[in-house]
A and B are shown apart, each in its own frame.
Chain A
Amino acid sequence: MELKTPQDTLTLDPIAMNVVNRVAAGTVLDGDLMFDGGLLVQGEISGQVRVNGRLIVWTGGVVRGRIRVNGDLYLFGQLGAVGGNPHDTSLECQGMAYVSKTGVSTGTLMARRLQLYEGADLQGPFKTLKLGDNLPVLHDVHAGPT
């Protein structure tokens, strides 16, 4: 007899989680984007994206490009283009990445910790971030006159 583990459930409370931004279904955003606070993605965003908070990619939501998340990631939708190259999309998560049973990732996923759920489709690579990986890298430092 197969022993089934119980399912996990997550309560999404936008106020308690400080998710103050939302990209609604049908909305397409592209470019250099910066979100102060958590972000709920039900539409599509792409480009250079920085989220200072939690990122929730809802079912039907798509995230592409170079993404940096200073919080946890909850992936119910799509990371990277369908059938896309892992090099086209990379997401760096400074917290824990939860990939639910509906989540699909074709991009490169980097996170401190990863929790996969049965049915999660991780097609791209995953890299564990170490403690020193959040140090500013060269392209983040604005060179000033010396």
Chain B
Amino acid sequence: MDETDAFFTHTIVGAPLSVLLGRRQAHPNTQASGLKVDLGTGETRLSRLWQEWVVLSHACDPVGQPRLRPGRLRRALERHALWIALAGALALVGTAVFWGVWLWS
């Protein structure tokens, strides 16, 4: 797909969006969800549950595959990430200014 096709696809079909599918009609996986060890190669990797919690970017997600919806806390943190970052930066600057003034005087 070239740039022109991508532009028209984006314009006509729409921008990427996330949609809620619902709860899976399947038994929850009761097995321990931790590291998965490949006995053949010895490679270890995180199970799906942990991968989806740890992941910070969905840019490399497989296309068209559902993923677990993040929990309430994570959604709130992601929604207000900019404000949290701004508050952190302001706190850092404020602390630096405070200590600077205190040491100066």
- Which residues of the other chain, B, contact A72 by a CB distance below 8 angstroms? 64
- Which residues of the other chain, A, contact B73 by a CB distance below 8 angstroms? none
Cβ A115 vs Cβ B24 within 8 A: yes
Chain A, Cβ-Cβ closest to B27: A5
Chain A, Cβ-Cβ closest to B14: A14
- Which residues of the other chain, A, contact B101 by a CB distance below 8 angstroms? none
- Give the total number of A-B pairs whose CB atoms are below 8 A apart: 110
Task: Tell me if A140 counts as interface (CB < 8 A to partner B).
Answer: no
Picked from B9, B25, B58, the residue with its CB within 8 Å of the CB of A11 is B58
Cβ A16 vs Cβ B24 within 8 A: no
Task: Tell me if A28 counts as interface (CB < 8 A to partner B).
Answer: no
Residues of A near any B CB (own CB < 8 A): 3-22, 40, 54, 72, 74, 76, 98, 100-101, 115-120
Residues of B near any A CB (own CB < 8 A): 1, 5-6, 9-10, 12-26, 28, 58, 61, 63-69, 71
